[in-house]
Amino acid sequence: MQVKHIATKFLVVLLPLFLVSFIILSGISYFVARGQLLESVSENAELVRQMTAVKLTNDVERKADLLDGLSRSPVIAHGTREARIDALQALKAQMPSFAMVAFSTPEGQAYSDTGQDMDRSSRDYIKKVRETKQPFFAPPSVSGTTGKLICVLAYPVLEGGELVGIVYGTMQLDSLTEIVGDVKLLDTGYAFVADESGIVVARHDRPDDVGKLNLSQKDQGEDRVLDDALVQAFKDTVSSGQERMVRFQSTAGKELDAHLLPIHLKNRTWVVVACVPIDEINARVNALLGLLAAVTLIGILLAGAVIVLFARRTAAPLVRLNEACRTINDGNLSAADIPVESADEIGQLAQGFNQMKQTLHGLLAKIQENAQSLARSSEDLTAAAHQSAEASNAVASAVTEIANGAVQQTEDTAHADETAQGIAGGTTQAAHLADDIAATTQTTVACVERGRSSVQQIVGHMTEIEHGTEIVQASINALAKNSQEISHIVEMISNIAGQTNLLALNAAIEAARAG
């Protein structure tokens, strides 16, 4: 198909180029933005993990510092029961997140900040502190007082290197849930904290999982089964102390990315798990793709509009040039000049066209002037041709007359010859013939005179047609030559006539003598 419009040609050539360029640019932008989006999500999850880890670490470390300071207090080491209870109450007032603060003898006989006596001799944290004389962070357990899941942080009370008591505080895991409660990943993402044993110690979106969900085992009971990938990633994180990232399927069948970050708290390791739904990541990626597609479409439409406007603006002078060419082709050179609106090639073309039109106008004026001059010359030539024709007719008449005269001369010559021959036959006849010859001679002389007169007339006519055609000139030259020959003939005839007269005279004399 042959394209006839410049605008269409621009669209056919440039629009696919813009389309391919926009698609390539959008594709590159999509993959770059997708990578940045995924990286941003990963960084966000990392930030959530770190923030949660920092909050938990700060909370635990602050409580540990208070217990450490209390364990070094002389009141705790040497004070009375009442003094120790006052010190315990003061610490609890300073840190209300402690569910309970208590003092225990090395054997495990304890009393709380409220004065309640308790036997904790069987507790692991009592045994560990007694054996190691070092602080101990106990694994999650159910409180014997409140029945809630708690963690116990215990510090030794030393006197001269000897263990004289143990101070400890219990932290209800409900308070830890508040720490991770303000964490938000995308729309429905969440974070939770698990002890190295696998027990979940803090989760805001599903608080029922606290103390019940165990990441170290697959089977959770009640037809709830964890993904092997999540269980293995948790175990690897605890054993290696390195953060991990894993994609797993939740018990609800939802696919998520889990980012696991270990937190080292005294003798224990907690793991912060930040989960991001894959469908929400894909939704943002798809939204980004839709945005890029919309931007690409708008860009293509704008490019097409710009191409059309540019093509029309470029083609407008060419259209005017085409119309002007058609006007000139119709024979009209009076059309106005095409306005020159630019200095580019099209503007130069319009300027050149205007100059060409002016040149054509001047050429046509000269052609008209030359045509008029040629018409006048043609009229003069026609008149000269008429004069030449008249002269030719006169020459033809003269030539005809000369030819007739020549014939007559020939006949007269033949007759003279016969007469001359008859002279020998008789003197009398010769005398008569001499008279006839004399008469004929006079006639011949008259013809010669007429021939000469005709030649003079011919010469006069030849003067008038001096600038005539070469054929007439050749005829005149031939006629002049014939005239010369006729003159010679006339002279010869005159000589013959003279001799004839002499012969006649001699004959007359001889006759007189004889008579």
| CATH number for position 146 | 3.30.450.20
pLDDT over 70 (residue 29): yes
The amino acid occupying position 492 is M
Boundary of a domain, candidates 125, 141, 172: 172
Is 445 among the domain residues?
yes
Share of the chain above pLDDT 70, in %: 73
Q: Is residue 381 part of a domain?
A: no
Residue 209 lies in a domain: no
Alpha-helical (H) ranges within 104-216 are: 124-132, 173-181
Where is pLDDT greater, at 75 or 31? 75
- Residue 190 pairs in a beta bridge with 275
* Higher-scoring residue by pLDDT: 338, 210: 210
With 80 as the cut, is the pLDDT of residue 514 above it? no
**135 in any annotated domain:** yes
Question: Is 157's pLDDT higher than 90?
Answer: yes
Q: Tens of pLDDT along 445-488?
A: 575 577 567 657 755 665 665 665 566 467 657 766 766 776 67
Specify if 491 maps to a domain.
Answer: yes
The count of domains in the chain is 2
Contacts of 252 (CB under 8 A, 6+ apart): none
Structure confidence at residue 420 (pLDDT): 46
What 3-state DSSP class applies to 102?
strand
User: Which one-letter DSSP state was computed for residue 162?
Assistant: E
Of 124, 61, 45, 102, which is closest to residue 270 (Cα–Cα)? 61
Residue 201 corresponds to which tokens in the numbers above?
């110690």
The DSSP code sequence of 453-498 is HHHHHHHHHHHHTTTS-HHHHHHHHHHHHHHHHHHHHHHHHHHHHH
In this structure, is residue 443 part of a structural domain?
yes
For residue 417, is it within any domain?
yes
Q: Residue 418: which pLDDT band, with cuts at 50, 70 and 90?
A: low
Q: Is the per-residue pLDDT at 322 higher than 70? A: yes
CA distance to 142, 273, 395, 456, per residue, from 474 (Å): 153, 130, 12, 17
Q: Which domain holds residue 79?
A: 59-172
Q: How far apart are CA 393 and CA 296, in angstroms?
A: 96
Looking at 157, 172, 187, which one is the last position of a domain?
172
> DSSP characters for 307-324?
HHHHHHHHHHHHHHHHHH
Of 150, 172, 194, the last residue of a domain is: 172
Average pLDDT over residues 38-48: 69
Q: What's the mean per-residue pLDDT of the chain?
A: 78
Greater confidence (437 vs 455) lies with 437
Instruction: Decide if 229 is inside a domain.
Output: no
3 state DSSP class of 299: helix
Q: What is the mean pLDDT of residues 506-510?
A: 74
- For residue 334, give Cα distances in angstroms to 337, 358, 365: 9, 10, 13
